């Protein structure tokens, strides 16, 4: 555990430059998915669910399709295997690795949003699913992160056609004998979807995201931290808006890094001329309350989890530009 932690700190301290990233085997879905659940169980990387446009792109009238397939990669140099299926086709929930399992909360399908939560475990060559307490309300397109034993889930939408985004945060102590969800004290900012979540030094962070104004996105730059001791605290604004960046983001000794994201500058751009999402990495220095430019990504992705695995940061699949996914899996190693 100590060696793994030191390796991860060395990775983040070195900066996420293009040269640090390498491809692993692509997931076994030729189109890739956005909004999957992902994490580590049994030492293996699990990726499950998500959605894509397998027939036609949305601007061609194609329908979004949600998936229930779960895939497992047992070692970085290996090949993906079909691990099993989720309880239903599902995507755009929150996932986090906890004690050898992937905890999944909320999500959506083509019809509705869900409050169901469950745990995925890769054991003895099989995928095992265990129910967890439901969220108080359905949540999709939110964000979340694990702070110690406590999983936080924030924001998102209760319904597919919600005109406004939620500003509610929930938490559950996964180590409790009988875990249950509790509401966190009122968030001081606007409700938002697709914010970035982070955990650092015992605090939960919410960064950027998009408010919904009559169903339309308003891109945000504000950031906040929460701890039971200090409550919510507003932090320095981001230098630009960040929506849908891989989340939860990797933390390090002095803060955490935000990996790219959508800044809204190409909203309304024709699909064939959209150039993709931001490549820059923004480092937050918690002590100085300051954002610092910290290198670039060579393959930026949005609406995808960020997973720590074998001392590296992994981004499995995700969205390349609106309506277009990629099956590629990237990792940054020391």
3-class secondary structure, 20: helix
Taking the complete model, does pTM exceed 0.85, yes or no? yes
**pLDDT confidence of 4, banded at 50, 70, 90?**
very low
Q: Who's near 113: CB < 8 A, 6+ residues apart?
A: 106, 107, 138, 139, 140, 156, 157, 158, 159, 160
More confident position, 230 or 334: 230
Strands (E), 155-267: 169-173, 181-183, 196-200, 203-207, 210-213, 216-219, 223-227, 231-234, 255-261
Q: For 139-151, what is each residue's pLDDT tens digit?
A: 999 999 999 999 9
Contact 95, 104 (CB under 8 A): yes
DSSP 34: B
Mean pLDDT value of segment 192-210: 98
Mean pLDDT on 245-264: 96
Specify the pLDDT at position 18: 43
Residues 134, 101: Cα–Cα separation, whole Å? 17
- What is the structure's pLDDT at 334? 56
Rounded to the nearest 10°, the torsion over CA 7, 12, 15, 21 is 70
Compute the mean pLDDT over every residue in the chain, rounded to the nearest whole number.
Answer: 93
* pLDDT over 80 at 257, yes or no: yes
Split at pLDDT 50, 70, 90, the class of 20 is confident
User: Residues 248-277: what's their mean pLDDT?
Assistant: 94
Q: Distance between CA 123 and CA 164 in Å, rounded?
A: 40
Span 2-315: which CATH code?
Answer: 2.120.10.80
Helix (H) or strand (E) holding 5: helix 2-14
C-beta of residue 104 within 8 angstroms of C-beta of residue 125: no
Share of the chain above pLDDT 70, in %: 94
What pLDDT score does 13 carry? 41
Residue 71's pLDDT is what? Answer: 98
pLDDT, tens digit (0-9, with 9 covering 90-100), for 38-77: 999 999 999 999 999 999 999 999 999 999 999 999 999 9
On whether the CB atoms of residues 140 and 93 are closer than 8 A, the answer is: yes
Q: Where are the domains of the chain?
A: 2-315
* pLDDT, tens only, 92-122: 999 999 999 999 999 999 999 999 999 999 9
Q: Is the pLDDT of residue 16 over 80?
A: no
* pLDDT tens readout for residues 72-82: 999 999 999 99
Q: pLDDT tens-digit profile of 280-330? A: 999 999 999 999 999 999 999 999 999 999 999 999 999 999 999 999 999
Q: What is the pLDDT of residue 215?
A: 85
Cis peptide before 133 (omega within 30 of 0): no
């Amino acid at each position: 555990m100590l060696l793994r932690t030191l390796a991860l700190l060395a990775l983040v301290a070195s900066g996420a430059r293009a040269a640090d990233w390498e491809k692993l085997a692509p997931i076994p879905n030729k189109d890739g998915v956005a909004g999957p659940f992902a994490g580590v169980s049994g030492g293996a990387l699990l990726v499950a669910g998500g959605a894509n446009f397998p027939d036609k792109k949305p601007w061609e009238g194609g329908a979004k399709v949600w998936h229930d397939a779960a895939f497992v990669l047992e070692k970085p140099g290996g090949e993906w295997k079909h691990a099993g299926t989720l309880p239903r086709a599902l995507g755009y929930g929150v996932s986090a690795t906890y004690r050898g399992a992937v905890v999944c909360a909320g999500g959506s399908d083509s019809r509705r949003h869900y409050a169901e939560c469950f745990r995925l475990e890769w054991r003895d060559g099989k995928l095992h699913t265990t129910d967890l307490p439901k969220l108080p309300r359905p949540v999709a397109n939110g964000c979340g992160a694990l702070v110690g034993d406590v999983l936080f889930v924030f924001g998102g939408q209760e319904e597919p056609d919600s005109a406004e985004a939620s500003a509610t945060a929930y938490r559950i102590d996964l180590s409790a004998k009988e875990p249950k969800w509790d509401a966190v004290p009122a968030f001081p900012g606007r409700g938002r979807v697709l914010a970035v979540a982070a955990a650092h030094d015992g605090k939960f962070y919410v960064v950027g995201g998009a408010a919904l104004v009559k169903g339309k996105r308003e891109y945000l730059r504000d950031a906040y931290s929460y701890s039971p001791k200090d409550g919510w605290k507003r932090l320095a604004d981001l230098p630009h808006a960040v929506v849908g960046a891989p989340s939860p983001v990797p933390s390090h000794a002095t803060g955490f890094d935000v990996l790219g994201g959508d800044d809204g500058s190409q909203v309304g751009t024709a699909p064939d001329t959209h150039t993709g999402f931001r490549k820059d990495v923004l480092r937050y220095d918690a002590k100085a309350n300051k954002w610092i430019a910290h290198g670039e990504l060579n393959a930026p992705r949005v609406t995808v989890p960020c997973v720590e695995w074998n001392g590296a940061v992994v981004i499995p699949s995700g969205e390349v530009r609106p309506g277009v996914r990629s099956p590629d899996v990237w990792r940054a190693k020391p």
